[in-house]
């Protein structure tokens, strides 16, 4: 089929490439000329494992194209996806101006000669946005244009997006238009995954409800971790014990510094706002947020307690990305921690396998911060090591080397990555989340 994706960011580029990979002809549109230029040169603007090769292969096969022209995209695509940002506003509500603009642009490019078109929203949007998209396209399109509107929320995780797209747990298709549904079934035919068809409002709600539930699991285990700390129990054992119940499951029960990234913080805020707007306030989610934001402060207090003050302290920071296997630093807890320590006068030397260029470009860190590619060099002469992102490289660190390089063998592990037995063998003083502290003696 001929597919167009408007918005070639994390979601647009990875999903467009995966649609091409299963045999569709895909045109990816973006209004950022720099991004399209990079892609046309054969480079990709983000780090996502496996994506660069897939882009190259599908461009070479003639199935994947990039352009800045929405007109060209609309001409090429029987199915037109919208994958533009839906950022939060100050009150938590969603800024839908990017969606509205694209809906208008699509409408103005459509002609009756194009025949029937399906307009699919893949961005994460508040329930009832589909209605607005339909009204807007209807209002701005020339008379005689035929189209259907679909909500097809995206559930990919950064860092494993290609696999999530090619082998999804489920595909959710929401539409009240039978013809649009036929197109969508054909589009997803090459995928071996259950397809759930719903009305458009339910599909939109599924996305916010799913992200909120995952965030709730994280805050739940973090609250349990704090109880474990007070009681001298081990949250890792507790999570294992809870997670062995198939009804609960072990995933998303990793205690730590809490959730960050471009999705959970904004989507939980949005769902709180949506529920209030609909007159059904979702107080539970406010508590999820509170627990999450307190996690980083609790961790900082733990560090302050040992270092006394940050001023004139050199801190080695392992992690800048909001999670492992990505270069994305949007709403990264690691970056928040770094800024708070810098504000209190620490000098920070940070490392991350992929996040250094993005942190330099986007995170606006101010103060005495330097970066190094070498995770061990970051430790030289530092007063403490802080682990803030769950990269496997950090989990597999040579802890004797860590102890040798630090000025004082103090380690604060915000992601519970290190094995307590290895920590003891390396004679480190060690503090993590919801697990007993380990003394260096
Ligand atoms: N990042 C994720 O892991 C993820 C996963 C699932 C859903 N989502 C949702 O998908 C949506 C997009 O997220 P993202 O992370 O891909 O954002 P992004 O910022 O990485 O990409 C969005 C792209 O849209 C482009 N754009 C904006 N306005 C445009 C216009 N008028 N015409 C053409 N291009 C335009 C931007 O230049 C940018 O490249 C959001 O609603 C987000 O919540 C994101
Ligand atoms: O047990 C866990 C799992 C995750 N996290 C943190 O939670 C955040 C989000 O992680 P993850 O969900 O793996 O990454 P995202 O790429 O943000 O993916 C989420 O957000 C996307 C955008 O909406 C959805 O598509 C995905 O299904 C959803 O998992 C990160 O800061 C992680 O460090 C924890 O603290 N503990």
Based on the fold, state whether residues 167 and 315 are members of the same structural domain. Answer: no
Choosing from 157, 270, 325 the residue with most ligand 2 atoms within 8 A of its CB, the one to mutate for a pocket test is 157
- The verdict on the CB of residue 85 being under 6 Å from ligand 2 is no
| Mean pLDDT computed over every residue of the chain | 97
Based on the fold, state whether residues 385 and 248 are members of the same structural domain. Answer: no
| 187-239 confidence digits (pLDDT tens) | 999 999 999 999 999 999 999 999 999 999 999 999 999 999 999 999 999 99
Based on the fold, state whether residues 248 and 312 are members of the same structural domain. Answer: no
How far does residue 92's CA lie from ligand 2's centre (Å)? 19
Among 83, 106, 81, CA closest to 262:
83
| 89 pLDDT higher than 70 | yes
Element (H, E) at 15: helix 10-21
Per-residue pLDDT band for 44 (boundaries 50, 70, 90) equals very high
Q: Tokens 């595909």: give the residue.
A: 171
DSSP 438: B
Based on the fold, state whether residues 300 and 281 are members of the same structural domain. Answer: no
Based on the fold, state whether residues 28 and 126 are members of the same structural domain. Answer: yes
Element (H, E) at 173: strand 171-174
| Closest residue to atom 7 of ligand 2, CA basis | 259
- The verdict on the CB of residue 12 being under 6 Å from ligand 1 is yes
Based on the fold, state whether residues 378 and 405 are members of the same structural domain. Answer: yes
| Closest residue to atom 25 of ligand 2, CA basis | 155
Q: Alpha helices, DSSP H only, in 232-362?
A: 235-243, 264-277, 283-307, 333-343, 356-362
- The verdict on the CB of residue 85 being under 6 Å from ligand 1 is yes
How far does residue 88's CA lie from ligand 1's centre (Å)? 13
Asked if residue 202 is part of any domain, the answer here is no
Spatial separation of the C-alpha atoms in residues 80 and 91, rounded to whole Å: 31
Among 143, 144, 18, 27, CA closest to 81:
27
Based on the fold, state whether residues 192 and 240 are members of the same structural domain. Answer: no
| 203-217 confidence digits (pLDDT tens) | 999 999 999 999 999
Asked if residue 319 is part of any domain, the answer here is yes
Spatial separation of the C-alpha atoms in residues 127 and 121, rounded to whole Å: 12
pTM above 0.90, yes or no: yes
- The verdict on the CB of residue 123 being under 6 Å from ligand 2 is no
pLDDT of the residue at 342: 98
Among the bound ligands, name the one nearest to the CA of residue 124.
1
Which residues fall within 8 angstroms of residue 379, CB to CB, at 6 or more apart? 316, 385, 401, 402, 405, 406
pLDDT of the residue at 208: 98
- The verdict on the CB of residue 81 being under 6 Å from ligand 1 is no
| 268-316 confidence digits (pLDDT tens) | 999 999 999 999 999 999 999 999 999 999 999 999 999 999 999 999 9
Given a contact cutoff of 8 angstroms between Cβ atoms, the answer to whether 325 and 49 are in contact is yes
Spatial separation of the C-alpha atoms in residues 441 and 195, rounded to whole Å: 56
- 28, 109, 228, 263: the catalytic one is 263
Which residues fall within 8 angstroms of residue 353, CB to CB, at 6 or more apart? 391, 393
pLDDT of the residue at 357: 97
Domain that holds residue 259: 207-288
Asked if residue 275 is part of any domain, the answer here is yes
Asked if residue 53 is part of any domain, the answer here is yes
pLDDT of the residue at 440: 73
- The verdict on the CB of residue 322 being under 6 Å from ligand 1 is no
Spatial separation of the C-alpha atoms in residues 155 and 122, rounded to whole Å: 10
Based on the fold, state whether residues 243 and 213 are members of the same structural domain. Answer: yes
| Closest residue to atom 8 of ligand 2, CA basis | 259
| 441 pLDDT higher than 80 | no
pLDDT of the residue at 140: 98
Q: In what order do the strands lie in the sheet with 117-121?
A: 64-67, 25-29, 2-6, 79-82, 117-121, 147-151, 171-174, 195-198
Based on the fold, state whether residues 14 and 107 are members of the same structural domain. Answer: yes
Among the bound ligands, name the one nearest to the CA of residue 265.
2
Given a contact cutoff of 8 angstroms between Cβ atoms, the answer to whether 180 and 231 are in contact is no
Residue 18 is a catalytic residue:
no
| 3-32 confidence digits (pLDDT tens) | 999 999 999 999 999 999 999 999 999 999
- Among 197, 221, 247, the domain-final residue is 197
For residue 299, the domain's CATH number is 3.40.50.720
């Amino acid at each position: 089929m001929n597919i167009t994706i408007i918005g070639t960011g994390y979601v647009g580029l990875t999903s467009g490439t995966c649609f091409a990979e299963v045999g569709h002809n895909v045109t990816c549109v973006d209004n950022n000329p720099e991004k399209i230029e990079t892609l046309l040169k054969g480079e990709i603007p983000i780090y996502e494992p496996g994506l660069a090769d897939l882009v190259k292969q599908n461009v070479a096969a003639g199935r994947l194209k990039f352009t800045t022209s929405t007109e060209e995209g609309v001409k090429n695509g029987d199915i037109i996806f919208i994958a533009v940002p839906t950022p939060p506003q100050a009150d938590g509500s969603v800024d839908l101006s990017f969606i509205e603009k694209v809906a208008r642009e699509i409408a103005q490019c459509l002609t009756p000669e194009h025949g029937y078109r399906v307009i699919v929203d893949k961005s994460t949007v508040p329930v009832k946005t589909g209605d607005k998209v339909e009204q807007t396209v209807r209002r701005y399109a020339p008379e005689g244009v035929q189209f259907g509107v679909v909500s097809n929320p995206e559930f990919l995780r950064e860092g494993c997006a290609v696999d999530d797209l090619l082998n999804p747990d489920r595909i959710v298709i929401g539409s009240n238009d039978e013809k649009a549904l036929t197109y969508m079934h054909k589009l997803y035919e090459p995928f071996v995954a259950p397809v759930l068809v719903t009305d458009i409002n339910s599909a939109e709600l599924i996305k916010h409800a799913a992200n909120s539930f995952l965030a709730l699991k994280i805050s739940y285990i973090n609250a349990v971790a704090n109880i474990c700390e007070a009681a001298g129990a081990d949250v890792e054992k507790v999570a294992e014990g809870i997670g062995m119940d198939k009804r609960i499951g072990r995933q998303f029960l990793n205690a730590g510094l809490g959730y960050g990234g471009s999705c959970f913080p904004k989507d939980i805020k949005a769902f709180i706002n949506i529920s209030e707007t609909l007159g059904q306030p979702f107080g539970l989610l406010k508590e999820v947020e509170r627990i999450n934001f307190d996690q980083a402060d609790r961790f900082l207090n733990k560090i302050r307690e040992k270092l006394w003050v940050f001023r004139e302290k050199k801190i080695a920071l392992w992690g800048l990305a909001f999670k492992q296997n990505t270069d994305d630093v949007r709403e990264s807890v690691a970056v928040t921690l770094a800024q708070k320590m810098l504000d209190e006068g620490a000098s920070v030397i940070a490392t991350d396998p992929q996040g250094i260029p993005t942190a330099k470009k986007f995170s606006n860190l101010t103060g005495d911060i330097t970066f190094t590619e070498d995770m061990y060099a970051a430790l030289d002469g530092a007063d403490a090591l802080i682990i803030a992102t769950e990269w496997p490289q950090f989990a597999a660190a040579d802890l004797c080397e860590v102890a040798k390089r630090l000025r004082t063998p103090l380690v604060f592990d915000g992601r519970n990555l290190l094995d307590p037995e290895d920590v003891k063998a390396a004679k480190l003083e060690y503090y993590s989340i919801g697990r007993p502290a380990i003394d260096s003696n």
